[in-house]
């Protein structure tokens, strides 16, 4: 789950990371009020969960409160990469001498967190990583020991940070580490961390991504989820314990198990179709789950046929067939359905479905070919 910049910076501040004294506004009038309190020049920043806000015109500098109000009014009516801007952060304009990148994330291959710093701050760090990886200094953190001060010194030396800033830099790094660890983040990033004209450090932009699997430990953070970034259908699927991801093709699919669901999408493509979605129905294909899955798949107007691929393991094929029949009674789909049951009690399941208004297949390859043909209208029951 991604947090907005203002939310991330609020958390960083709790751990002693210095952030600007700005606040968030939902209306131009609020933006004006905040700018008035701050005095002087301010920066008005759209709060949307996508990168490239600046390039899209979502970050603007204002010379006073009046201009802040006007710019906030413009930004609050924008959409950036399809996401509506609902809030703006009004921060005092920063006095930037030097920009540094600082971030902690999970290094999957090393199986531990990694603290990364670069003197090339303020720009897209993925670009730096791709073009000049030597400019990123990495320090791996032992999950049993935590971040050590000498490691922060190593990083400071690596990015050639002047020694006047070392003490503050240590506090920023330790604060960022605690924010990452105590909130179960998968990413805690300050970009840029700046050295101001007065020599002090400030985190003028921040980003956090939290581990969805750990949100039960942070109910107050779970409430901050921004539903704008999720497709409505994906949120709906979650309610039923389904994992659904919408794609652009015309063949819907419903599968038990994530790996098999991917393999089913792939085989549709292999035989000339395009998958309309990923859908993992999980264990136990009950009528309720199957019905919810069919409803969600068919909400997508591009879907011309639906392929069910269920491997009966612990879940028996006849029980799955019952679920499918009950769901069809309820939903009455208008596009052709192809069903392929395999594994435990698959034959019994297939026999039960023989009378239903659907095409059946024994192998996955046969099912995929039939679904592709049914989607183009070449094949009918």
Partner 1 sequence: MSILADKHTRLVVQGITGREGLFHTEQMLNYGTQVVAGTRPGKGGEWVLDDKVPVFDSVKVAVEATGANTSIIFVPAKGAKDAMLEAADSGVEFVVCLTEHIPVQDMMVVRAYYDQKGVRLLGPNCPGLLTPGEAKVGIIPGDIAIPGDVGVVSRSGTLTYEVLFALKLHGMGSSTCVGIGGDPINGTNFIDCLRMFEEDPQTDRVVLIGEIGGTDEEKAAEFISREMTKRVVGFIAGKTAPPGKRMGHAGAIVEGGEGTAAEKVKALEKAGVRVADHPEQIPDLLAD
Alpha helices in the chain (DSSP H): 5-14, 28-38, 65-75, 125-131, 149-158, 166-182, 219-222, 232-239, 258-270, 287-298, 317-331, 346-353, 364-375
Backbone φ/ψ region at 280: left (φ over 0), alpha (ψ -120 to 50), beta: beta
Q: Give the residue, chosen from 265, 293, 294, 327, that forms a contact with partner 1 under the rule CB under 8 A.
A: 265
Stretch of 80-88, 91-99, 180-188, 325-333 contacting partner 1, by CB under 8 A: 180-188
Q: Give the residue, chosen from 5, 280, 300, 318, that forms a contact with partner 1 under the rule CB under 8 A.
A: 280
> Which C-beta is closer to partner 1: that of 126 or that of 378?
126
Stretch of 2-10, 86-94, 171-179, 255-263 contacting partner 1, by CB under 8 A: 255-263
Q: Helix, strand, or coil here: 2?
A: strand
Q: Helix, strand, or coil here: 377?
A: coil
**Cα dihedral 132, 134, 135, 138 sign:** positive
The verdict on whether 230 is a catalytic residue reads no
Question: What number of helices (H) and strands (E) belong to the chain?
Answer: 13, 19
Q: Is 323 in the site for partner 1 (CB under 8 A)?
A: no
Q: Which of residues 109-138 bind partner 1 (CB under 8 A)?
A: 109, 111-113, 126, 129-130
The verdict on whether 189 is a catalytic residue reads yes
Beta strands 305-312 and 337-343, pairing class: parallel
Per-residue mark of binding to partner 1, 204-233 (x: CB under 8 A):
-------x-xx-xx----------------
- CA-CA distance, 122 to 135, in Å (whole number)? 13
Minimum CB distance to partner 1, residue 90 (Å): 30
Q: Is 364 in the site for partner 1 (CB under 8 A)?
A: yes
> Which C-beta is closer to partner 1: that of 64 or that of 184?
184
Task: Count interface residues toward partner 1 (CB under 8 A).
Answer: 52
- CA-CA distance, 53 to 263, in Å (whole number)? 36
From the list 5, 69, 99, 189, the catalytic residue is 189
Q: Give the residue, chosen from 17, 156, 172, 268, that forms a contact with partner 1 under the rule CB under 8 A.
A: 268
From the list 101, 180, 244, 250, the catalytic residue is 101
Sheet holding 88-92, edge to edge: 23-25, 88-92, 42-46, 59-62
Q: Which of residues 29-88 bind partner 1 (CB under 8 A)?
A: none
Question: Which residues, including other chains, have CB under 8 Å from residue 195's CB and lie 6 or more apart?
Answer: 97, 98, 100, 162, 165, 201
List, by residue number, the catalytic residues: 101, 189
Per CB under 8 A, residues contacting partner 1 are: 106, 108-109, 111-113, 126, 129-130, 142-144, 181, 184, 186, 211, 213-214, 216-217, 243, 245, 247, 255-263, 265-270, 274-275, 278, 280, 311, 313-314, 342-344, 363-365, 368
């Amino acid at each position: 789950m991604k947090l907005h910049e203002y939310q991330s910076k609020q958390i960083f501040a709790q751990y002693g990371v210095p952030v600007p004294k700005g606040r968030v506004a939902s209306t131009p009038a609020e933006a004006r009020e905040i700018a008035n309190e701050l005095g002087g020049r301010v920066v008005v920043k759209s709060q949307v969960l996508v990168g490239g806000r600046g390039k899209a015109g979502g970050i603007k500098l204002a010379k006073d409160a009046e201009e802040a109000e006007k710019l906030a009014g413009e930004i609050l009516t924008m959409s950036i990469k399809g996401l509506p801007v609902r809030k703006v952060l009004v921060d005092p304009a920063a006095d930037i001498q030097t920009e540094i990148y600082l971030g902690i994330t999970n290094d999957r291959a090393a199986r531990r967190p990694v603290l990364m710093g670069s003197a090339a701050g303020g720009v897209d760090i993925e670009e730096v990583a791709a073009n000049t990886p030597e400019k990123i200094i990495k320090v791996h953190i032992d999950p049993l020991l935590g971040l050590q001060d000498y490691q922060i010194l190593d990083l400071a030396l690596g990015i050639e940070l002047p020694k006047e800033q070392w003490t503050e830099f240590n506090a920023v790094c330790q604060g960022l580490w605690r924010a990452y660890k105590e909130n179960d983040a998968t990413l805690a990033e300050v970009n840029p961390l700046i050295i101001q004209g007065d020599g002090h450090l400030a985190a003028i932009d921040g980003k956090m991504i939290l581990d969805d699997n750990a949100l039960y430990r942070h109910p107050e953070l779970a409430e901050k989820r921004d539903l704008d970034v999720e497709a409505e259908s994906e949120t709906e699927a979650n309610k039923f314990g389904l994992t659904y991801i919408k794609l652009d093709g015309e063949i819907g699919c419903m599968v038990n198990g994530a790996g098999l669901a991917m393999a089913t999408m792939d085989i549709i493509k292999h035989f000339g179709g395009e998958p309309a979605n990923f859908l993992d129905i999980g264990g136990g294909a009950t009528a309720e789950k199957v019905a919810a899955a069919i409803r969600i798949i068919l909400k997508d107007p591009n879907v011309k046929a639906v392929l069910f691929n269920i491997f009966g393991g612990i879940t028996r094929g006849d029980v799955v067939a019952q679920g499918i029949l009950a769901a069809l009674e309820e939903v009455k789909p208008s596009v052709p359905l192809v069903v392929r049951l395999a594994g435990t009690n698959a034959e019994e399941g297939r026999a039960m479905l023989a009378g239903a208004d659907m095409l059946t297949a024994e192998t996955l390859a046969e099912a995929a070919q039939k679904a592709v043909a049914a989607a183009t209208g070449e094949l009918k029951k």
